[in-house]
Amino acid sequence: MLDIQLLRKDLPQVRARLATRKGGEDILDVAAFERLEAQRKTIQSKTETLQAQRNSLSKDIGQLKAKGESADSAMQQVAQIKIELDSSAAQLEGIQNEMQQLLAGIPNLPHESVPVGKDESDNPEVLRWSPQSGLGGNAQALAFVAKDHVALGENLGLDFEAAARMSGSRFAVMKGPLARLQRALAQFMLDTQTQQNGYTECYVPSIVTAQALFGTGQLPKFEADLFAAKKGGHQGDEEQLPLYLIPTSEVPLTNLVADQILAESDLPMRLTAHTSCYRSEAGSAGRDTRGLIRQHQFDKVEMVQITHPDRSYEALEQMCEHAQDILRKLGLPYRMVLLCTGDMGFGAAKTYDLEVWLPGQNCYREISSISNCEAFQARRLQVRFKNAQGKNEWVHTLNGSGLAVGRTLVAVMENYQNADGSITVPPVLRPYMGGISVLTPVDSK
């Protein structure tokens, strides 16, 4: 959530920065904001006047009673003032609630270093890497015609039809060594992030409340992208709160510090988790319907950092390195792009995307998105720390994939495919595969 003081002090500048985002000048309803601010000021001014009158009358009542004189008239006025103050308080609460609803739908301000652009076509490339050439290197073509992961998976235990029969479209079943390879990827990612990069592994719920999703910015604006979870029980059970399946473990990981005042020495906090994630993919009809790229259920190893605001951009670059390190250890060609203002997520102030090369599709596809949300989520979650001066200050929150497991599986399959349809297992994964070095169609039977 944006700092309301910033809107009050420099509304034109905030509007101009928001206008560079997708949605443009329609993002901020300036007329509604100014109307609510005018009403707030009027009521607060009236409240201050009434409070001053009540204080003066209360003093008069004390003096009248001390003299033995009647204070009935003054007391009646005080009683009437109380009624008016209660009415003003109720009006002010309504205005503040309306203002909160307005602010809840406004995205974060882009950082000054973010390029202005309309969509992904305006995202500048920062770097690219290939195992053959290192930084600056392009992915080398295979010596044969590449298949995509769907064609490769047909004989390796990848089954979309079985999943569709029980769950509908955009789900998958994996069997045998292919399922083990997915598990190996997740374990390898977790081990790298915890043993090498200092993240604390967490086990977190896959179902969260609406309040948790509000805190990280998925609600109220993106409810259509979520799967609601129906809670069972009997009449008389605890109050039925709205529950949802998590779209990313960023939600429970970041909510671990909700409503807390941290010590400065607690920062930075580095958290990671491997979870299944669930997204309805509303509005994506016709996009990436083939294969594992855009599923309703997918696995991800998430990285979250809670940092001191002075060091959050250093942490952003660090997290990019942590995600790139996974790709390099796996020997997967990739590139990194900086998202322009028109392509950024709702809560992000700055975002880098890592895109892995998929020879079966002859293109780069996103495999990790790493964002600094600055204090945007902290305000919604009420997460602060006590600074060196003893004052409470908002933390900065960051999140990123380290990596999307399913998409990494796709990349391994397509980049490590052989002409006979088998898949060579990357060397770093073989200890997690019991020494298996090649997946062949016969293995899945």
Determine, yes or no, domain membership for 23.
no
Determine, yes or no, domain membership for 414.
yes
CA of 101: how far to CAs of 25, 221, 242, 243, 343, in Å?
Answer: 18, 10, 18, 20, 24
d(CA 147, CA 155): 13
Determine, yes or no, domain membership for 100.
yes
Determine, yes or no, domain membership for 415.
yes
Annotated binding residue 209:
no
End-to-end CA distance of the chain: 52
Annotated binding residue 302:
yes
Annotated binding residue 399:
yes
CA of 410: how far to CAs of 366, 367, 425, in Å?
Answer: 12, 10, 13
Determine, yes or no, domain membership for 57.
yes
Annotated binding residue 194:
no
Q: How many residues does the chain have?
A: 445
> Which of 79, 105, 131 finishes a domain?
105
> Which of 74, 105, 136 finishes a domain?
105
Inter-residue contact 16 to 10 (CB < 8 Å): no
Alpha helices in 285-386 (DSSP H): 312-330, 376-381
Annotated binding residue 280:
yes
Same domain flag for 355 and 244: yes
Helix (H) or strand (E) holding 8: helix 4-9
230-267 burial: b if 16+ Cβ within 10 Å, else e: eeeeeeeeeeeeebbbbbbbbbbbbbbbbeeebeeeeb
Same domain flag for 368 and 221: yes
Same domain flag for 67 and 197: no
Angle between helices 405-415 and 177-191 (to 10 degrees): 120
Q: Could you state, in chain order, the average pLDDT of each consecutive group of 10 residues for the chain (445 residues)?
A: 95 95 91 96 94 92 90 91 94 95 96 97 97 92 95 94 95 95 98 98 97 96 93 59 94 98 97 97 64 95 98 98 98 98 97 97 96 98 96 98 97 97 97 96 63
Inter-residue contact 300 to 190 (CB < 8 Å): no
Same domain flag for 260 and 394: yes
Determine, yes or no, domain membership for 222.
yes
Same domain flag for 262 and 309: yes
pLDDT (0 to 100) of residue 25: 84
d(CA 250, CA 135): 30
Alpha helices in 264-368 (DSSP H): 312-330
Same domain flag for 152 and 300: yes
Residue whose C-alpha is closest to residue 298's, from 373, 376, 405, 410: 405
Domain that includes residue 88, residue range: 29-105
Residue whose C-alpha is closest to residue 221's, from 101, 399, 117: 101
Q: What is the CATH number of the domain that holds 349?
A: 3.30.930.10
Same domain flag for 41 and 135: no
Number of helices and strands (H, E) in the chain?
12, 19
Domain count for the chain = 2
* Strand, coil or helix: 209: strand
410-432 burial: b if 16+ Cβ within 10 Å, else e: bbbbbbbbeeebbbebbebbeeb
Residue whose C-alpha is closest to residue 241's, from 257, 252, 259, 229: 229
Same domain flag for 84 and 126: no
Annotated binding residue 368:
yes
Determine, yes or no, domain membership for 1.
no
Residue whose C-alpha is closest to residue 415's, from 187, 176, 146: 146
Determine, yes or no, domain membership for 7.
no
> Which of 60, 81, 105 finishes a domain?
105
Same domain flag for 97 and 175: no
Same domain flag for 340 and 194: yes
Strand order in the sheet with 297-307: 134-135, 125-130, 334-338, 350-358, 363-372, 396-404, 297-307, 269-278, 200-201
Same domain flag for 163 and 47: no
Same domain flag for 304 and 429: yes
pTM: 0.92
DSSP per residue over 62-73, as a string?
Answer: HHHHHHT---HH
pLDDT (0 to 100) of residue 326: 98
Where would I find the beta strands (DSSP E) of 88-182?
A: 125-130, 134-135, 158-159, 173-174
